[in-house]
């Protein structure tokens, strides 16, 4: 009798444990289905608002002084304590930003937005609010030293910047429809391409490949193809060119003011707006000349 009672109690206990486990499993399953997923939402494809203006506040100045005169000017600026302090503070901020930035920061950023941080504005920036395109000392495909400002004055320009091979298809998506419409049509509308290499090793490679670039570049694009072989990281911040793997495009008016900017792979709407804005700027320039 005692053995039978013990067996009966064990069977009841096992049945109770199984029933409780089944109920707990059911509650757990329902809870997982109804509760929202924990953790931060994915950031891939998250766009930010475009900048309200691009460029620098002061008009660009072309410096034709030789090496000796530039050194003399630097000595004069060094004695001017206000200029020296402002330059030192700017340099210190830049060094801190570069020191705290990861070497793979641009790569990680590309994983988030895939090369498109925002869609370009659908309207031109007003001239009174637009900044100036900085002057860049560069060289053309004939290895002749040039200043980009001298190419921009008095013309409506689509100016593109590329830093890496990955960004070339980006700028081409803007260049091809631009050339298709304006190639050999007017002297007041032009394309200026800028190839920038800030890394010393890449600069050496670019110099070696200049003959090949000159050979593969069409005749209509050779004259305004510019090479910049130095660090312009301080200047490109004013143009919101934060990622070196992305291609950038700017519409610059006859006064060297940046009136519109885009980047990444062009959309149909961006291309349509770019062409319409170019026509508008060209028409306004004609009215001012008359």
* Position 191 pLDDT exceeds 60: yes
In a domain, 69, yes or no: no
* Claim: this prediction has a pTM higher than 0.85: no
Strand order in the sheet with 145-147: 145-147, 137-139, 225-228, 189-196, 156-162, 248-252, 258-263
Which residue is it, tokens 């059911």? Answer: 26
Average pLDDT, the chain: 78
In a domain, 215, yes or no: yes
In a domain, 273, yes or no: yes
Which residue is it, tokens 């110099």? Answer: 207
CATH number of the CATH domain containing 277:
3.40.30.10
What's the domain range around 152? 120-289
Rg (CA), the chain: 30
Q: Which of 43, 44, 51 is nearest to 237 (CA)?
A: 51
Provide the number of structural domains found in the chain.
1
The pLDDT tens digits for 11-29 are 445 554 444 444 444 444 4
78 three-state secondary structure = helix
For the residues 97-111, what does the mean pLDDT come to? 62
Q: Which residues of 69-86 are buried (b: 16+ CB within 10 A; e: fewer)?
A: eeeeeeeeeeeeeeeeee
In a domain, 55, yes or no: no
């Amino acid at each position: 009798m005692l053995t039978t009672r013990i067996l009966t109690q064990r069977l009841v206990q096992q049945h109770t444990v199984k029933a409780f486990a089944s109920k707990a499993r059911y509650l757990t399953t329902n809870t997982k289905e109804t509760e929202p997923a924990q953790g931060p939402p994915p950031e891939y494809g998250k766009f930010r608002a475009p900048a309200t203006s691009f460029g620098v506040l002061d008009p660009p100045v072309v410096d034709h002084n030789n090496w000796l005169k530039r050194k003399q000017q630097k000595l004069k600026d060094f004695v001017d304590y206000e200029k020296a302090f402002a330059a030192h503070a700017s340099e210190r901020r830049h060094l801190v930003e570069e020191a705290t930035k990861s070497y793979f920061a641009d790569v990680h950023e590309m994983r988030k937005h895939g090369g498109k941080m925002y869609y370009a504005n659908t309207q031109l920036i007003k001239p009174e609010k637009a900044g100036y395109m900085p002057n860049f000392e560069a060289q053309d495909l004939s290895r002749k030293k040039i200043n980009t400002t001298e190419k921009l004055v008095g013309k409506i320009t689509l100016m593109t910047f590329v830093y890496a091979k990955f960004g070339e298809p980006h700028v081409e998506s803007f260049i091809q429809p631009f050339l298709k419409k304006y190639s050999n049509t007017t002297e007041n509308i032009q394309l200026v391409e800028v190839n920038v290499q800030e890394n010393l090793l890449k600069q050496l490679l670019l110099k070696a490949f200049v003959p090949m670039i000159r050979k593969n570049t069409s005749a209509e694009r050779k004259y305004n193809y510019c090479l910049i072989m130095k660090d312009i990281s301080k200047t490109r911040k004013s143009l919101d060119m934060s990622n070196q793997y992305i291609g950038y495009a700017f519409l610059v008016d006859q006064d060297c003011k940046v009136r519109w900017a885009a980047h990444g792979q062009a959309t149909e709407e961006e291309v349509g707006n770019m062409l319409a804005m170019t026509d508008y700027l060209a028409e306004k320039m004609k009215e001012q000349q008359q």
